[in-house]
Structure 1
Amino acid sequence: MMRKTPAFWYGTAAPPPGLKPLAWLYDRLSRLRRALTSPHHGTVPVLCIGNITMGGSGKTPVAIAVSHILHDLGFLPHFLTRGYGGRLKGPVLVKPAQHGFREIGDEPLLLARHAPCWVARKRAAGAVAAEEGGAGAIIMDDGFQNPSLHKNLSFLVIDAAAGFGNGAVFPAGPLRELPQNGLKRADACILLGIKDENSREDWRQKLQQYGYQNPVFFADLQPQNPSFDGAFVGFAGIGLPQKFRETLETCGADVAEFFPFPDHYAYRREDIKTLLAAARRHNAALITTEKDAVRLPAKIRESVKTLPVALQWQDEQAITAFLKSKLQKTS
C-alpha cells in the first residue's frame, strides 16, 4: 500500500538527509533507462498525458478532455494506461461490467466511460493491441517517463497550486525527474487552477527559466452540478486528498469531518466502519471522489455521494488548433 504523501514534499521542512543519495540514484537510473531504451513506433499517433510529480496532478481529466477533442477532429481515440494497483498485466480491454479496480486499477474504469481503454504493464504491447482493436489515436494516461513507446505528442500536466513541491526528486521530494529535464521532452504544458493573468504570466516565466519555450495551455477542474443538503463526512484516497476537502468547501458543502487516505487506496472493512460511524456521529452523508467510489465495496457505493469533476479549457479553440496542427503532421 502506498503511504500518505510526506509533509516535507510540499512543505518548508527539509527532507531527511538520508533520502538525498536515494534521490540522486533514482534520478540517474531513470535517465539511464530512457537513454538505453529503443522505443516502439506504432502506426497511429500516440499522445501522452503525463507529469513530473508523484501522485495526482489532474492527468485523467485532461486525458478525457483531449479524447473529446480528438473525437471531434475525426479520430477514434483509445486510452492506454498501466492500471496502477490492478493485478492484470494485460494487454486487456477494460470492460467495466466485468472488471473491478482490483483487476485493472481505478483510473481505467473512469477512462472507459469515455472511450475504449487498454491496460498494459508493457506499453508497447498495449499500443499494438489498441491498434489491432481499431484505435485511430492512442492517449496514454501517464507514462511520460516510460521510454518503451514513441510519443508523437507529450503533454505535461501541472497542478499550479502544488507546483513542483520542494523541488527534490523522489524520495526526497515529489518529482519523478528534474523540471529542466522533463520540460525538454514536453510539446506543451497544461496548467490547472490558474484564474488570473498575472499568475499565468508568472508560470510562463517560471517555465522559461527552465529553458521551456513551447506552448502553455490553461484549464480548470470544475465540479459538475454540485448540490449539498445537510452535513457531509468527506474522504479521499488521491494524490493530495486535502484538495478534495477544499473543493467541497469552495462549493459550499458543510464538511463536518474529513478522512484523507493514500492514493489508490483499497478501502478495508475497518475503514468503512470508521466512515459510517463518523457519518452517524455527525448525522451526515458520506461524500468522495469518482475515483474513490470505484474502490468502495458495492454494498456501500450507492449510498455514498460523489462529486464529479470535468476539465474546462480556458481557451478550447487554442488547444484544438494545436492538436489539429500537430496531428496533421503525423498523418
Structure 2
Amino acid sequence: MQPPGFWFRPRSVLASLLSPLGAVYAAATARRVAQPARYAPDVPVICVGNLNIGGTGKTPTVIALVQMLQGMGVAVHVLSRGYGGRLKGPVQVIERSHSADDVGDEPLLMAAFAPVWVGRDRAVTARAAVAAGAEALILDDGFQDPALRKDLSLVVVDAALGFGNGRVLPAGPLREPVAAGLRRADMILAIGAPPQIGAFRESTAYTVPVLAAALKPLQMGLSWPGQRVLAFAGIGRPEKFFATLRAEGAVLLRAEALSDHQPLSEALMKRLEIEAKALGAQMVTTEKDAVRLPRSFRQKVMTLPVRLDWEDENAIRAALGKVLASDAR
C-alpha cells in the first residue's frame, strides 16, 4: 500500500481526527526509547534510522557508511532485524545460502558489501557480531530501539517529502514527533536533488546538523538512453526509481508500482514478462527488488543500482573519525 496523501498535506480534517491515536502511538514510542540500553558493545555503534515510516534511503546510506569505514581500515558489521524474513536469528547472512524469504531483502542486498547479521533481539545479535570480529557496528533502522547504546545516530529523510504533515501514525507518517526524535539524533541526512535539499533546510530551524546527499545511478556499461523498458519496484517510493530511469534516458512504456517488500511471485513475474514482450520492452527493477526475484527470472531482469553521492563527504567522515577515536580511548 502507498501512504495516504493527507500525510503530506499541512492541513487535513482526517489527520486532525486521527491525532488522538497519533498521541497514543507517540507516547508508546516515548516509553520505549526511554528505557536504558541493554547492551553497550566495546565497539562503536552507528545507527542509521528515520522518523518516518517507509523508504527514506536507509539502505544506500548503510552501504555508503560501510564502504567509508572499510576505507578507514575498520571491520564493520551490519545489524538488521531482517524485516520480511522468517529467521529469528541471530544469524549471519550468507548470500549463496539464504534467500530474501529467510532474512529479508535489504539484509541480503547489504551482505554483498559487509558481514550482515539478522536477529529480532538486537542486543543478542550485536554480541554475536562482536564475537565474530566486528570492530564497528552499523545498526540498520534501529533508531527507536533502545537495545543498544548508540555512539552516532543519523536520521535519514527524503528531502522531497520531509517529515510530512508533522503528525504521528496514523495521523501522519511519523514514528514519533520530530522534536522528540531529534533530541536523540546527532545528524540529519536529507536525500534528494539540490532544490529539494534547499527547501528542506529552509523549512525548519533544525537542532542538529543537516547533511545532504543524492542517489546517483552506477554507470556499469549499460546504455539507458532510448532503452524501452517495463519497470517495476517494490520500495517505499517506486516513483523515485521510475524518475531515475527517465532521467537516464530510458523510455518507460510501463511502470508497475508494487508494495514495499512485496513478494515477486512466479505468477506476477510471468504477467510482467508477457506484458514486456508485447511492448517490446526490457524488464528492469531496483537492486532491492532483484534479490527477491525467482531464480528463473534473474537473467531476464536488468537492475539499475544507485549509490549515495554526498554533498560534503568530509562532514560524515569527521563524525565517524570522532566516534572511532573516542572508542580507541
Aligned match of 1:131: 130
Aligned counterpart, 1:236: 233
Q: Does 1:8 align with 2:6?
A: yes
Give the partner amino acid of 1:234: A
Residue 84 of structure 1 pairs with residue 80 of structure 2? no
The equivalent of 1:164 in structure 2 is 163
> Any idea what the Cα deviations from partners look like across 1:23-51, whole Å, max 9, x if unmatched?
22111111111223443211111000111
Closer, same or farther: CA 39–236 of 1 in aligned 2, 3 Å: same
Q: CA deviation at 1:66?
A: 0.8
Aligned to 1:306: 303
CA spacing shift, 1:206–1:16, aligned 2, 3 Å: closer
Deviations along 1:188-211, one digit per CA (max 9) or x if unpaired, are: 111111425xx6555344442x5x
Q: Contact conserved, 1:5 with 1:240, CA < 8 A, in 2?
A: no
Q: Is the 8 A contact 1:152 1:330 kept in 2?
A: no
Q: Distance in 2 between matches of 1:32 and 1:237?
A: 32
Is 1:297 the counterpart of 2:294? The answer is: yes
1:26-83, Cα deviation, whole Å (9 max, x unpaired) = 1111111122344321111100011111111111111111111112222110000111
Match of 2:313 in 1: 316
Contact 1:53 1:164 in 2 (8 A): yes
Report the alpha carbon displacement of residue 16 of structure 1 after superposing the two structures with TM: 5.9
Aligned equivalent of 2:256, options 255, 259, 274? 259
Question: Does the 8 Å CA contact 1:47/1:151 hold for their aligned counterparts?
Answer: yes
- Counterparts of 2:191 and 2:269, CA distance in 1: 32
SS at 1:15 equivalent:
helix
Distance, in Å, in 1 between the alignment partners of 2:69 and 2:270 is 43
Query: Which secondary structure does the structure 2 equivalent of 1:185 belong to?
Result: coil
> Aligned letter for 1:327?
L
- Is 1:220 equivalent to 2:214 in the alignment? yes
Return closer, same or farther for 1:64/1:230 CA change in 2, 3 Å cut-off: closer
> More displaced, 29-38 or 124-133?
29-38
Scaled by the length of structure 1, what TM-score is found? Answer: 0.92
Q: Which amino acid aligns with 1:97?
A: R
Whole-angstrom CA distance in 1 between matches of 2:202 and 2:227 = 44
TM-score (structure 2 length as normaliser): 0.93
User: How far is the alpha carbon of 1:281 from its aligned partner?
Assistant: 2.4
CA contact (8 A) 2:53 2:175 kept: yes
**Structure 1 residues 276 and 45, CA gap change in structure 2 (3 angstroms):** same
From 268, 273, 276, the counterpart of 1:271: 268
| 2:218 alignment partner AA | Q
User: What letter is aligned with 1:320?
Assistant: R
Q: Which structure 1 residue ranges, 5 or more long, are not aligned?
A: none
RMSD: 1.8
AA aligned to 2:164 is: G
Q: 1:10 to 1:204 in 2, by over 3 A?
A: closer
Partner amino acid, structure 2, of 1:244: F
After TM superposition, the structure 1 = structure 2 runs for residues 30-41 of structure 1, keeping only pairs within 5 Å, are: 30-41=29-40
Q: Percent identity?
A: 45
Deviation track 1:172-202 (CA, whole Å, cap 9, x = no partner) reads: 2211111111111111111111425xx6555
Tell me the alpha carbon deviations over residues 85-129 of structure 1, each in whole angstroms, 9 at most, x when there is no partner: 001011100001000000100001111111100001111011100
Map 1:70-81 onto structure 2 (within 5 A). 70-81=69-80
Give the superposition deviation at 1:8.
2.6
Question: Where does residue 148 of structure 1 map in the other structure?
Answer: 147
1:93 aligns with 2:87: no
SS of alignment partner, residue 270 of structure 2: helix
Equivalences, count: 324
* Alpha-carbon separation, structure 2, partners of 1:314 and 1:40: 34
Alpha-carbon distance change, 298 to 14 in structure 1, aligned in 2, over 3 angstroms: farther
Residue aligned with 1:53, SS? coil
What is the match of residue 44 of structure 1? 43
Question: SS at 2:230's partner residue?
Answer: strand
- Residues 162 and 99 of structure 1, relative CA distance in 2, 3 Å threshold: same
Give 5+ residue unaligned stretches, structure 2: none
CA distance in structure 1 between the aligned counterparts of 2:204 and 2:321, rounded to whole angstroms: 24
